[in-house]
Structure 1
Amino acid sequence: MRGTDQPDSVGARLAVRLSGLRTEHGWSLDELSRRTDVSRSTLSRLERGELSPTATVLGRLCAAYGRTMSRLLMEVEAEPPALVPAAQQPVWRDEPSGFVRRSVSPPHAGLRAEIVEGTLDAGAALSYGNPPVPGVEQHIWVLEGTVEITVDDTVHTVRRGDCLRFRLRGPSRFRCPGPDRVRYALLIVMP
């Protein structure tokens, strides 16, 4: 299964959680499809664990359910300890888009912030619709390479060592212009 480090770990639990969220909301597959613009058949395959979601699809599902991607992924992981060794940080891959997401400091009950390491291949781009939690605060610190981040219709070119900070209220886009991949740290602070 694409998107998982081990076939029976995060991907399988994510499929179960996605199915549970839809049930909790009382939505049919048709209703969820209408809310996310993801086909009914794709949603069904995701919930059965036959298909792993891309970053774009997962972003649409998170928006429909009012969760950040990190929060959703936290719900399928065991509660993290105070110390999160590098070898135990959950990693999620979206091979088609060239995106890798490491949850360096996973969300934790009672804490409002989390840290994510993201890498995006040269030439790759990710677009997100409206945020699942409007007004979420983000700080993006580029560790290697360059990324173009579009927020509020403004394109920001963020280079190694630069930090972009904002409150996310609408669509956003990440694009790595190359020639090398970009690696960045993302600090997310819930409102």
Structure 2
Amino acid sequence: MLEEAKSSEEVADSGINRRIADRVRELRATRGYTLDALATRCGVSRSMISMIERGAASPTAVVLEKLAAGLDVSLASLFGGEQEGTPSEPLVRRAQQLKWRDPESGYTRRNLSPPGWPSPIQLVEVNFPPGARVAYETGGRESTVHQQVWVMSGRIDIVLGTELHALQQGDCLAMRLNQPLIFSNPTSSAARYILALCNVPGA
């Protein structure tokens, strides 16, 4: 039974890695960046980007955020491209929402918004394990990404720049992703929160 569950997870991870690979390759081609150019823009090695585009790597959230910044999109956008051959729809059922697990911290994120739907707003549900920590080197985007964090359960500490925000259940924090950002859970219980993101081109 354990082996079957592990096999199922590996298949899911492989599918998500393939989707990320296709999305990164598509965004890079649209912007006309070579592998070397994107590597310079985002601070991720050329070889790692190549592996990600081939679906041969399981990138961490930190690496994906760097790629997203270099491609001038939100992190959620790397998961939310259209399904090939499927028209965009305004409704996505819970069972169809893409779920991804960060191999480094163990946190999981679920894209709640309909994939490919033409809206500047994206919703993401996050489950953050006890003791986990993720540090993003945010910044460098040409556009502005606005983000709000609404805590549904547990506690999450957010350091934006040099300012610490200790968020409890029901708290909501608004921010711009233009400086270093650290998420951490200092408790022994998992935290769950919703991210609302809006990308403003050229702002």
TM-score normalized with structure 1 length: 0.85
The residue number in structure 2 matching 1:135 is 144
Task: Name the CA distance, whole Å, in 2 between partners of 1:3 and 1:140.
Answer: 30
1:164 corresponds in structure 2 to 173
Look up the match of 1:146. 155
Change beyond 3 A, Cα 1:66–1:165: same
Alignment partner of 1:125 is 2:139: no
CA RMSD of aligned residues (A): 2.5
Which aligned pairs between 1:103-114 and structure 2 lie closer than 5 A?
103-106=111-114, 108-114=116-122
Report what 1:81 is aligned to.
89
Post-superposition shift, 1:108?
Answer: 4.8
1:96-137 Cα deviation digits (max 9, x unpaired): 211111011246544221211011111111122224465322
Question: Quick one: distance in 2 between partners of 1:10 and 1:39?
Answer: 21
**Farther-moved stretch of structure 1 (142-151 vs 81-90):** 81-90
Which consecutive residues of structure 1, in runs of 5 or more, have no partner in the other structure? none
Q: Is residue 49 of structure 1 aligned with residue 55 of structure 2?
A: yes
**Alignment counterpart, residue 164 of structure 2, candidates 155, 158, 182:** 155
Paired residues of 2:101 and 2:108 also in contact (CA < 8 A): yes
> SS of the counterpart of 1:56?
helix
| Alignment partners' CA distance in 1, 2:163 and 2:131 | 19
Shift of 1:95: 2.6
Could you tell me the percent identity over the aligned residues? 35
Matched with 1:92 is 100
Distance 2:168 2:130 in 1: 14
Choose which of 8, 12, 19 in structure 2 pairs with 1:5: 12
How much has 1:6 moved relative to structure 2? 5.5
- For residue 5 of structure 1, what is the amino acid of its counterpart? A
**TM-score, normalising length: structure 2:** 0.81
Give the paired residue count.
190
Q: What secondary structure is seen at the aligned counterpart in 2 of 1:84?
A: coil
Cα shift at 1:90 = 0.9
Classify the secondary structure of the residue corresponding to 1:58: helix
Deviates more, 1:39-48 or 1:143-152: 39-48
Q: Deviations over 1:36-67 (max 9, x none)?
A: 22223222211111112110110000000001
Number of the residue aligned with 1:173: 182
Q: Structure 1 residues 159 and 79 mapped into 2: Cα distance closer, same or farther (>3 Å)?
A: farther
**Partner residue, 1:16:** 22
Q: Distance in 2 between matches of 1:20 and 1:47?
A: 9
List runs of 5+ in structure 2 lacking aligned partners.
1-6
